Structure 1
Amino acid sequence: MRYSALAESLPRPLRRHVLHFESIIEDAVIRFAGGLPSGAWVLDAGAGECRYAHFFGEQRYCAVDLAVGDRAWDYSGLDALADVTVLPFRSNSFAGCLNIVTLEHVAEPGCALAEMSRALSPGGALLLVVPHEWEVHQAPHDYFRYTRHGLEYLLERAGFHEFEIQPVGGYFRLLARRLLNGLQFFSGGWRWIGFLPAAILLVPPALVLPFLDFLDRDRNFTLGYVCTAKKQS
């Protein structure tokens, strides 16, 4: 189920509570942009509709995507149409690179990370966001889900170090999101009859459950991971 329309209509505090994953991603992108010098080149590898471009007003933002993920998307803002496993840039060209919920759509994720590493200058920064427990989306180009251990393996092999891998919520955040996902089964045709009863049943616990997330200290149940790393000098 797509939540873009819902996100636009909700007050900001409620939006951050309900759309926790998206809010954490946005916070991470803002921090990442703030850590890059003014005028630096930054690569958005798998940019889609370039939804994060406006956070890089002080930098030189370059958007790349293969434009096969979602036919309804507007890819007109891309600077280059390319496969992230074969980036059309010289080595050591960028000070920063972001790859936001894109790596699961790449059949050769190790190759993609190696290419991002090649395109980054020595010491360049990477922001990577991947799903751990997420529904199939943008089929048939949806290949993987990731654990923190798999990410460490892939990043190290691609030439990155100084990893910081943070889970986005725990079991109760995950459960809350899955309850909201259940509303998608009550849309369209006669199914709308059941939407209100389903909302009454599913939405209240989905709003309450995140307050219990502190109980899950291990965060082995999580929606995904936000990772930062640096290219080895």
Structure 2
Amino acid sequence: MNRSLIEYRINSFCTTNVLDRNYLHYKYFHKDLKNILSTYVQKDDIVLDIGCGNKPYERYIRSLTKRADGKGYVGCDVAQSSDFRVDFLCDATKIPLESESFNIVICTQVLEHVYDFENVILEAYRLLKPEGVLIVSAPLVWPHHEIPYDFFRFTYFGLKKLLLNSEFKIEYQCANGGKWAVLGLIFAHVLSPSKSKYFFIRKLLSLFNRVIITILNIVFCFLDEIFKDTDYITINHVFVGKK
């Protein structure tokens, strides 16, 4: 995967606004990811973010590593991000850094964009110090994005097997959002109205869009909290593997 274009990426670790059609995805994913980072990232750790984009997690990670030398966090990506935050431009399977250099490697929402994703996990293993930790996430239900570089979706069993085959020990895993969150996310995307060439109609469509998405997010978030069920289907998975 080789791109030179500048890609848009999120740039904060905050749950998106309830007006956003991706609200249900980020609400559950970011909540779980923050808890995982706070558990596994320790003081003085050195962290590599594979597919870092605009580094939405940098501030939080640096607050955990507390390194005065500023070396607690670096990021690599295949293309420069929209905010020009990437430190190393490289393929995720061939990162030009020394082996066993990092305590933590994070790779969030990247695997679906790399055709030979197995080698991303092997590269993470190479870069981790002994007893180092990989934090990896990937979607199960998510619309096409970054087209045409969107190749895969991952089940719990697929991600688990991928880490075990790369000699990681599974430390922790969680699913982000249950069946009601999945349904709400799908509705929020498929019910978003098409755009029009007419200004007045565009304004009406925009208003309708905001109202319907807000209602969907509130209703399906409530349903997901009451009838939690991530065993059958989920939006996303996060795994933690130890070298």
Q: TM-score range by the shorter chain?
A: 0.7 to 0.9
1:29/1:67 Cα in 2 relative to 1: closer, same or farther (>3 Å)?
Answer: farther
Asked if the contact 2:15/2:27 (under 8 Å) is kept, the reply is no
Higher relative contact order (CA 8 A, sep 6+): 2
User: Which amino acid is 1:223 matched to?
Assistant: I
TM-score by length of structure 1 reads 0.82
In structure 2, how many angstroms separate the alpha carbons of the residues matched to 1:180 and 1:3?
20
Q: Which residue matches 1:32?
A: 37
User: Which amino acid is 1:138 matched to?
Assistant: E
Secondary structure of 2:93's counterpart equals coil
User: Which amino acid is 1:53 matched to?
Assistant: E
- Note the 1:145-156 alignment, pairs <5 A: 145-156=153-164
State the number of aligned residues: 222
1:174/1:3 Cα in 2 relative to 1: closer, same or farther (>3 Å)?
Answer: farther
CA displacement, residues 40-91 of structure 1 (integer Å, 9 cap, x when unaligned):
21000110111211112225101000117x7xx23x2222111110111121
Q: Which residue matches 2:218?
A: 207
TM-score by length of structure 2 reads 0.79
1:85/1:107 Cα in 2 relative to 1: closer, same or farther (>3 Å)?
Answer: same
1:62/1:33 Cα in 2 relative to 1: closer, same or farther (>3 Å)?
Answer: farther
User: Which amino acid is 1:225 matched to?
Assistant: H
- Tell me, yes or no, if structure 1 residue 21 matches structure 2 residue 25: yes
1:174/1:218 Cα in 2 relative to 1: closer, same or farther (>3 Å)?
Answer: closer
- Tell me, yes or no, if structure 1 residue 46 matches structure 2 residue 51: yes
| CA shift for structure 1 position 185 | 3.1
In structure 2, how many angstroms separate the alpha carbons of the residues matched to 1:67 and 1:168?
27
Identity across matched positions, percent:
24
- Tell me, yes or no, if structure 1 residue 222 matches structure 2 residue 234: yes
Q: Is 41-50 or 185-194 further displaced after alignment?
A: 185-194
- Unpaired runs of 5+ residues, structure 2, are 1-7
Asked if the contact 2:16/2:27 (under 8 Å) is kept, the reply is no
Asked if the contact 1:127/1:226 (under 8 Å) is kept, the reply is yes
User: Which amino acid is 1:131 matched to?
Assistant: P
Q: Which residue matches 1:85?
A: 93
Asked if the contact 2:101/2:129 (under 8 Å) is kept, the reply is yes
| CA shift for structure 1 position 39 | 2.2
Bigger fraction of residues in helix? 1
In structure 2, how many angstroms separate the alpha carbons of the residues matched to 1:64 and 1:115?
13
Q: Which residue matches 1:66?
A: 78
Q: Which of the numbers 106, 125, 149 marks the counterpart of 1:98? A: 106
Secondary structure of 1:95's counterpart equals strand
RMSD: 3.0
Secondary structure of 1:47's counterpart equals coil
1:9/1:50 Cα in 2 relative to 1: closer, same or farther (>3 Å)?
Answer: closer
